[in-house]
Structure 1
Amino acid sequence: MTLYARFADRIDAILDTLEAEGALPAGLDRRNVAVEPPRDPAHGDLATNAAMVLAKPAKTNPRALAALIAPKLADLPEIETAEVAGPGFINVRLTPESWRDELRTILRDAGGYGRSALGQGARVNVEYVSANPTGPMHMGHCRGAVVGDALASVLEHAGFAVTREYYVNDAGSQVDTLARSAHLRYREALGETIEVPEGLYPGDYLVPIGAALAAEYGDRYVTAPEAEWLVTFREKTVAAMLDLIRADLALLGIHHDRFASEAEVQASGKVKAAFDRLRADGLLYEGVLEAPKGEVPDDWAPVEMTLFRATAFGDDSDRPVMKADGGLTYFGTDLAYHAQKADDADQLIDIWGADHAGTVKRIQAAVKALTKDGNGAAKPFDVKLVQMVRLLRGGEPVKMSKRAGNFVTLADVVREVGKDVVRFTMLTRKADAQMDFDFAKVVEASKDNPVFYVQYAHARIRSLHRRTAEAGLAIAAEPDLTLLDGEEMALVKLAAQFPRIVEAAAVNHEPHRIAFYLSDVAAAFHAAWNRGNDDPARRFLMADDAATTSARLALAESIGQIIRNGLAIMGVAAAEEMN
């Protein structure tokens, strides 16, 4: 249990006592009672809003209620002071021994520090990447891949049961175009000189696929009608592209639990089942869409289609799920796919590129309609939009890749700067913020580069072990932590926030919070290290004082453990040493 959760339990017990004493009505909703660090550290170590939250339903004054809670908090052995502040907040200062105990907890729990049971095993389906299987991964896919994978890891650390899912769009016209492009490369592999016409995929990544098809089928399909080879070439090429995509993602350390097929969703009867459910609720009907706003195109005509009442769930207009000719719209299949996901999940999260922003409302409406229970409550569903990445080299745009056809591949970037640099950098900004990825800056050995600064902090900590061994110092198995002063204990207070940062990142679906926090931890550690450069008495390693060295090494190791745990969530290895 985290320090903050532990004190939340203490406050809960005090509220129980006040109820038993008749000072507080029974049955009040305490869900919004929080324990967190105060905005100004000078006010104390912890703050609670319990009195502010409960005063109104208890029909009392917040300060009056706080005055009942604070003395009972102050009576606890772990608490030095508990004071009422402002309109009714309670600021708490813990005893120094409480913080020393937390340092010991970090060292004892090691890799488990920061894990919690917040999610209580709730099943969460996180769908991310889901790029069309028509080419290798590019850096736009990369950012969504890292955000989704890190979010899945955050949720697991917070006690959720996570399924990592990739939705394969293998039923649309783009995969027929892919099959035709592969057929062109197949003919090329058999000796024909080809030119890639407009509308087909030009990338060299299809060359080996064409060669494999030539090796398997010989010249059987060179002049055969398209109807004889299209399905076979589509299946073979999609399978080969998925192998390429898996290999690209593996370079980033990303592996999905499930690859769901759009074609299989359509063939399985899931679409009909979803539509039947919506019809039964009066949410599908035959109708005509309104004319487009503004100037109406010459080729527009009112056509009757099957429409979903998306407006009943907050969308701007009703949406077609089936065309006039009986064919499915993309939204129709997507609607059924989300119904399939919801069958074995308690929550759904989609990670999409920002270019899909216009479809968010309609799919949220569909999930509400398909998952609502008898009381009208729907399963939680969140769509996180990820902005594109602009690639630079020394401030100049990066040239496109011949192999990919018209973009820089993820594989090329990872091979140049490394998986850890790519993953960390993708989390240094909020997902919905624009990002520049400059090849020069992301490998720069500078405090302005958060990847380097965090890794350097960990490498410095690891160096202490080597230098201590070289100095022959006897390190105490149970160091005297009372030798740590206030500035040093401030590092422990910062480290103790890690579990609540993980929980906040999980609740808000914002894995970048881990990267931001680690940057703060690294900066605080470097500041402590630099104080030793200015004053030898402040150094972590004191050759003539084994007791103080033992205490400071325990402190440094706790910070190193926090950095390792945070980097592990991000999918980044902690550096053991740096040149």
Structure 2
Amino acid sequence: MSLYARYSALLDGILDQLEQAGSIPAGLARHAVAVEPPRDPSHGDLATNAAMVLAKGAGTNPRALAAILLPALQALPDVTSVEVAGPGFINIRLTEQAWRDELVTMLGDGERYGLSSVGNDERVNVEYVSANPTGPMHMGHCRGAVVGDALARLLEAAGFRVTKEYYVNDAGSQVDTLARSAHLRYREALGEDIGEIPEGFYPGDYLVPVGAALAAEFGDRFAGQPETEWLALFKQKTVAEMIKLIRHDLALLDIHHDIFASEAELQASGKVDEAMANLRAKDLVYEGELERPKSLDPHDEWEATSLTLFKSSQFGDDQDRPMKKSDGSWTYFGADAAYHLQKAEEADHLVNIWGADHAGTVKRVQAAVKALTDGRVDLDVKLVQMVRLFRAGEPIKMSKRAGNFVTLADVVREVGKDVVRFMMLTKRADTMLDFDFAKVVEASKDNPVFYVQYAHARICSLQRKAGEAGISLDAPADLGLLDAEELGLVKLAAQYPRVVEGAALAHEPHRVAFYLYDLAAALHALWNRGNDDTSRRFLLENQPDLSRARLELARGIGQIIRNGLGLMGVEAAEEMR
């Protein structure tokens, strides 16, 4: 158990004792009680908001409740002092031995350090990427793919059971266009001169091998036939090939989904009818007309149409939403609601990673999930902003429709999987991200990928140099030789389990990248002190005992960096080339 978790449990035990003694009322809600590092390190090692959070329920003021807590906190192991600050925050100082013991825990737990059971084995479905199956992955898909995959890893580390899902939109008009584009390439493979690819078709060369495969399988059977004879078959065959291509491209980033769910199969299974019946039974759908759009000019014509509407406004949406068109076909929202019901049948929580262009549909889908599951399942939607591509400061323009987009595969081949994955997490998902091919491979502090990897590589080089210097790492290290500055690095490293839990619960994997950059910066600062004072170096050949203590410190930091990079899907570099 990590230090923060241990003191949280100790505080919980104190509150139990105070309840039993009648010093505070029983049954106070403690979910918001936290033990965390104080904002200002000079205030102490730990801080708790317990008095602030519980005072109202206890019928007292925070400082008075803090005074009740102080004696019991002061009696905890390794506590040297406890102080009440401001309106009722409690600051705690620990012995240096407490931090030495935490370093031992880091080293002993190894890869397990930072794992948590906060998820309580609850089931989470994370749906991400879900790009239309009309071509290879491009950089427009990359960020959502990495954010979703890193979040899935985080949730698993926090004790959730995770299903990683990709929704294949294979029931829309874009798939008809894909099949027609493949048919052109099929005719081309048979020797026909198809000329310029018509406007509105997919012009990419990635359909050339698909056309060739269709020609090899069917010969000229469908060359001159009307599309009623081949459209459904070509859709099936071409979508299957696109999914293979998508799986291959995602695998380059070490991304592998558990489920590829088909929209066409969903509709054919009657799931949409089931969702509609669910809502009808609750009197949540009706036949009606949409309001005239406010964006329309008063002079523009508007013809109201009778539609089947879902009462999404009862669940926080701006207005009711159509589920079925006047011609009896399902709206995209109708199918989407049914799809979320399908996911909810196997999950306690749903998380969708969507592009920012889907912002307008968030409320209606959340409303549908709440209505269909009677509030049992929650849906969190994380919107991911675009990635702008640059090369040495010059913007790169791309257009999927024109066939001149930058593919994910090309980017991974040029800069590597680890660089791509790390960079996609260096900003909050809901803010724009710039990806410059020159800067992401730059060896500088301004490049977070390099900066964190360099910290780990430095630690690995220390271990190699220690062996060359004849300093055995097998001999026990006297951690009492570590000074206050060195223990300060342990204190920062000890926050890692809290970062993992917080990032998992908030569904924000970028927090891990931010934390690793700060930890790397602290390691580099400690390393650089040896430039001015050689006695401050990690490795001193004439002082093997001190060197062993500092090497154990470096080894612990290296373990944290590896663990954090692993959650991001990034391998830790052992040397920089």
TM-score (norm 2): 0.98
Residue type of the alignment partner of 2:572: A
1:417 equivalent in structure 2: 415
CA–CA separation in structure 2 for the residues paired with 1:392 and 1:183: 35
Q: Return the offset for 1:300.
A: 3.6
| Aligned residues of 2:471 and 2:548 also touching (Cα < 8 A) | no
Residue type of the alignment partner of 2:320: D
2:213 equivalent in structure 1: 212
1:102–1:426 distance in 2 versus 1, CA, 3 Å: same
Partner-residue secondary structure (3-state), 1:193: coil
CA–CA separation in structure 2 for the residues paired with 1:286 and 1:179: 35
**For residues 466-486 of structure 1, what are the alpha-carbon distances to aligned partners after superposition, in whole Å with 9 as ceiling and x for unaligned?**
101111123353210000000
1:104 equivalent in structure 2: 104
1:574 equivalent in structure 2: 572
Residue type of the alignment partner of 1:321: M
Q: Return the offset for 1:171.
A: 0.6
Residue type of the alignment partner of 1:301: E
1:273 equivalent in structure 2: 274
Q: Return the offset for 1:75.
A: 1.1
Residue type of the alignment partner of 2:77: P
* Equivalent residue in structure 2 for 1:321, among 320, 323, 327: 323
CA–CA separation in structure 2 for the residues paired with 1:65 and 1:368: 39
1:73 equivalent in structure 2: 73
1:39 equivalent in structure 2: 39
Q: Return the offset for 1:56.
A: 1.2
1:434 equivalent in structure 2: 432
1:263 and 2:264 are equivalent in the alignment: yes
* Equivalent residue in structure 2 for 1:549, among 528, 547, 550: 547
1:309 and 2:350 are equivalent in the alignment: no
Q: Return the offset for 1:193.
A: 1.2
Q: How does 1:47-196 map to 2 (within 5 A)?
A: 47-194=47-194, 195-196=196-197
1:251 and 2:252 are equivalent in the alignment: yes
**For residues 253-295 of structure 1, what are the alpha-carbon distances to aligned partners after superposition, in whole Å with 9 as ceiling and x for unaligned?**
1000000000111011111111001001010111111112131
1:292 and 2:290 are equivalent in the alignment: no
How many pairs align? 575
Partner-residue secondary structure (3-state), 2:56: coil
CA–CA separation in structure 1 for the residues paired with 2:13 and 2:89: 18
| Aligned residues of 1:354 and 1:386 also touching (Cα < 8 A) | yes
Q: Return the offset for 1:399.
A: 4.8
Q: Which ranges in structure 2 are unaligned for 5 or more consecutive residues?
A: none
Residue type of the alignment partner of 1:61: N
Residue type of the alignment partner of 1:49: N
1:399–1:59 distance in 2 versus 1, CA, 3 Å: closer
Residue type of the alignment partner of 1:577: E
Residue type of the alignment partner of 1:491: L
**For residues 32-85 of structure 1, what are the alpha-carbon distances to aligned partners after superposition, in whole Å with 9 as ceiling and x for unaligned?**
111110000000010011111111111112111111111211112221111111
* Equivalent residue in structure 1 for 2:360, among 355, 358, 361: 358
Q: Return the offset for 1:298.
A: 5.4
| Aligned residues of 1:204 and 1:403 also touching (Cα < 8 A) | no
CA–CA separation in structure 1 for the residues paired with 2:378 and 2:312: 17
Partner-residue secondary structure (3-state), 2:472: coil
2:489 equivalent in structure 1: 491
CA–CA separation in structure 2 for the residues paired with 1:77 and 1:288: 68
CA–CA separation in structure 2 for the residues paired with 1:486 and 1:15: 32
**For residues 169-206 of structure 1, what are the alpha-carbon distances to aligned partners after superposition, in whole Å with 9 as ceiling and x for unaligned?**
00111111100000000001111111211111111110
Q: How high is the sequence identity, in percent, across the aligned residues?
A: 71
Residue type of the alignment partner of 1:553: L
Residue type of the alignment partner of 2:495: Q
1:348 equivalent in structure 2: 350
| Aligned residues of 2:126 and 2:165 also touching (Cα < 8 A) | yes
Q: Which ranges in structure 1 are unaligned for 5 or more consecutive residues?
A: none
Residue type of the alignment partner of 2:359: A
**For residues 218-260 of structure 1, what are the alpha-carbon distances to aligned partners after superposition, in whole Å with 9 as ceiling and x for unaligned?**
1111001111110110000000000000000001110000000
TM-score (norm 1): 0.98
| Aligned residues of 2:202 and 2:401 also touching (Cα < 8 A) | no
2:198 equivalent in structure 1: 197
Q: Return the offset for 1:559.
A: 0.3
CA–CA separation in structure 2 for the residues paired with 1:35 and 1:489: 19
| Aligned residues of 2:481 and 2:549 also touching (Cα < 8 A) | yes
Residue type of the alignment partner of 1:576: E
1:110–1:253 distance in 2 versus 1, CA, 3 Å: same
CA–CA separation in structure 2 for the residues paired with 1:285 and 1:428: 46
| Aligned residues of 2:348 and 2:376 also touching (Cα < 8 A) | no
CA–CA separation in structure 1 for the residues paired with 2:475 and 2:231: 70
CA RMSD of aligned residues (A): 1.3
2:444 equivalent in structure 1: 446
Partner-residue secondary structure (3-state), 2:24: coil
Q: Return the offset for 1:400.
A: 3.9
CA–CA separation in structure 2 for the residues paired with 1:298 and 1:397: 39
Q: Which of 177-186 and 465-474 deviates more?
A: 465-474
Residue type of the alignment partner of 2:263: E
Q: Which of 362-371 and 471-480 deviates more?
A: 471-480
